[in-house]
Chain A
């Protein structure tokens, strides 16, 4: 697939200094690439650093070290006018909590048009309203919703408002930070389908951060598996699900319960305990198993796993 590279993350590190002696090493040297129009699924459990990566990329945090380029422009260094303008318009984020991600005192139309207001992307009030209406149609809400308040909607509808807020800026990349985790199962399917439709229509790329591997499989083209701040394995969806190499990936896949009672009752998850496994992520380096499939391992480990 010779698609253009949209986002390149190289050796991103994010450490938080909690006190003089204690630093939280949330992200330790993560590198990956997202191409135009594709969905990259970033998967991991709590403490893996996946949300931190999303927030570092969009500069809610200041990266400790490493390089992030977006459309060829470096956005991990000091942000001047040009980088700011690019970052704040062409990259958008959707958040996890549908209740907390919308300002309770703002009307829906003001919530959605916030980006337009800040960057002055319209000439008249009517134009603003028209733009908001068009986006509401796209995300499956009705025009009369524009004058209501966020607390009058259900969780799934609020998430759609959040998507509308991101989408109205016509971004090239949307970072979905656990955007469906707080929703009911049937609503998750609705929202995920919406994201797929949007991608088809606008060729927007998605960085889909989640802990639910089955949903990630459904929506992603490529996947990265995170553990304790390290990217332990990355590849296309097929690579990861049909040919997992890293023991953590294997244990993660085996832990997902299947909707098949007779099978499921017989199955036992593959255990994996980092502390006792003898693996040290800091010693591994990125090994290529194919064009697309990469694993974090030392040479000996790679030999024993394949």
Chain B
């Protein structure tokens, strides 16, 4: 017999069917992590989304501490200091922030050697740095509140409409159609005429029709999931409708809802800015990004620096939220994992 380097033998006692532990090993195809940790991993791999998130955090940080860094408040006027160009200490020889606008060194002209305004001042002598960040605060605040309430109202509306179907769904959807048929601007204008212009009114105006999109997404998701077997299984086990909606369906559509919210924040910010631009925004002397742009628009050709700061902040915010939402969409969208 040739020399063999392996041994052959039966594994002892191996003529019975394998015991339960051998039979039921878990497929380690996926990491033993929950859905959220998987999503986190996916999200951090998307550079655009991470950058978007960082920019948002940065801007929010500035919005909170920015006004505190300056000795001026957002409404303190100093006519002597009106229409000054942006100037930072130490930037005398740089092309920007050196106090020069249109070739004129406005500080030198008025003999204000020791006065510095980082973003300059507006036509009424108010510090633009403080106003910009104050404005960002207000814009963010309005947008977030509006979106949060939209999420709650829209989600619940869509969930109930979609799950119960039939006459209930019919009625609820027709109501939405009527509501969205009325021009948004008309409603907003009426609101502002009836109620005093202010933070609450603007938020209300944004909320009035903002939740409709959310409810449509929620309803579509519910319709998709309603006939899934795990929902049927809950029904056969005796679960009531509310339990099914909130414990079975909601966790599965939460990802979509978050994505939808993230996408509606930039449009809320922009809508507020637009309303402010056409004069329906928050009243002076309060500032929001939109109202700042609106004011500086008038003197854009003479003093272009006035419009730069709020526009840049607005653009960055919107871009970042869109990037973030895109990243979230890729991370949270339940994908079919290969078996």
Contacts and interface: CB of A to CB of B under 8 A. Distances in A.
Interface size class of B (residues with CB under 8 A): 20 to 34
B23 interface: yes
Nearest to B248: A103
B30 A152 contact: yes
A105 B252 contact: yes
Contact of B230 (A58, A102, A155): A102
Contacts of A165: 233, 237
B3 interface: no
Interface string A22-40: 0000000000000000000
Interface in B2-44: 20-21, 23-24, 26-27, 29-30, 32, 34-35
A114 B237 contact: yes
A165 B234 CA distance: 10
Interface string B264-278: 000000000000000
Nearest to B27: A154
Contacts of B235: 60
Interface in B93-116: none
Most buried by A among B27, B29, B236: B236
Contacts of A87: 238
Contacts of B26: 144-145, 148, 152-153, 157
A106 B20 CA distance: 24
Nearest to B232: A60
A142 B20 contact: yes
Contacts of A152: 26-27, 29-30, 32
B229 A100 contact: yes
A85 B237 CA distance: 10
Contacts of A69: none
B178 interface: no
B251 A105 contact: yes
Contacts of B230: 100-104
Nearest to B35: A105
A118 interface: yes
B337 interface: yes
Interface in A32-75: 55, 58, 60
B231 to A, nearest CB: 8
A22 to B, nearest CB: 19
Nearest to B334: A104
A234 interface: no
A11 interface: no
A115 B334 CA distance: 26
Interface stretch (A13-21, A91-99, A213-221, A288-296): A91-99
A152 B337 CA distance: 10
B237 A169 contact: yes
Interface in A70-91: 84-85, 87-89, 91
Interface in B140-187: none
Contacts of B24: 140-142, 145, 157, 160
Interface of B: 20-21, 23-24, 26-27, 29-30, 32, 34-35, 228-230, 232-239, 243, 248, 251-252, 334, 337, 339
Given A102-B230, A148-B26, A152-B27, 9 more contacts: A55-B232, A89-B238, A97-B229, A99-B339, A101-B233, A102-B233, A140-B20, A140-B24, A144-B26
17 contacts: A60-B232, A60-B236, A92-B236, A92-B237, A95-B229, A95-B232, A101-B233, A104-B252, A114-B233, A118-B237, A140-B23, A140-B24, A144-B26, A148-B32, A149-B35, A153-B27, A155-B339
Interface of A: 55, 58, 60, 84-85, 87-89, 91-93, 95-97, 99-106, 114-115, 118-119, 137, 140-142, 144-145, 148-149, 151-155, 157, 160, 162, 165, 169
